[in-house]
Amino acid sequence: MKFQSFDGDYVRRLTEGDPSTEREFADYFGELLRLKLTRRLRVRQDVEDVRQDTLLRVLQRLRQRGGLETPEGFGAFVNAVCVNVLREKFRERAKHETGDTAVDPVNHRADLESWMLSREREQIVRDVLEELPEKDRRLLRAVFLDEREKLEVCREFGVDRDYLRVLLHRAKERFRKKMLETGRDVVAERRA
């Protein structure tokens, strides 16, 4: 998949309801969201619900007064909306009682276990990040956790894209080394 960057013209066309831009938006972000959500949710319908709700909320927000102030941060904005919808989904699921006939207890338990494991992994990652030098911490958070645009990260760190790759490679290596020292390899666990 080829990654895109977004400008004010793209966001304006999307805000105004241009049909071809809306299709492009739904195709591009729909696929990215599906990839992201498939790793976090076990039930295919949940993935689809969160994906569609995210796309809808992004369009609604764009069309409200004020819209989006920084078009170059559009990708990060879509990601933040997705994270919020995902949190709502987990909160909604947590409210259900196991005796509720609308919730399948077996799938609910599996999703809850998956959620708890992902929370445990997140805590391990946070702990390991805290042991890294501040520059590595900031860089890894910006690129992987906050999923900010690379150009924005380059500006923040005062480097070009080529050197950003070098910095990321070094930071990831230090992160992997710390992970191995803890005896846990979250990346390998996620792949399994």
160 and 185 belong to one structural domain:
yes
pLDDT bucket at 34, cuts 50 / 70 / 90: confident
Give the pLDDT confidence of 7-24 residue by residue, as tens digits. 788 888 888 888 998 998
Q: Does residue 101 belong to any structural domain of this protein?
A: no
Give the pLDDT confidence of 57-111 residue by residue, as tens digits. 999 988 887 777 787 788 888 988 998 898 888 877 776 644 444 444 444 445 5
d(CA 85, CA 75): 16
Q: Does residue 100 belong to any structural domain of this protein?
A: no
Task: Return the CATH number at 165.
Answer: 1.10.10.10
Give the pLDDT confidence of 156-169 residue by residue, as tens digits. 999 998 999 999 99
Full residue range of the structural domain in which residue 67 is found: 1-95
Helices marked H in the chain — which ranges?
8-15, 19-38, 44-62, 74-95, 105-131, 134-140, 150-157, 161-182, 186-191
Q: Tokens 């966001």 appear where?
A: 11
Of 95, 125, 141, which marks where a domain is finished? 95
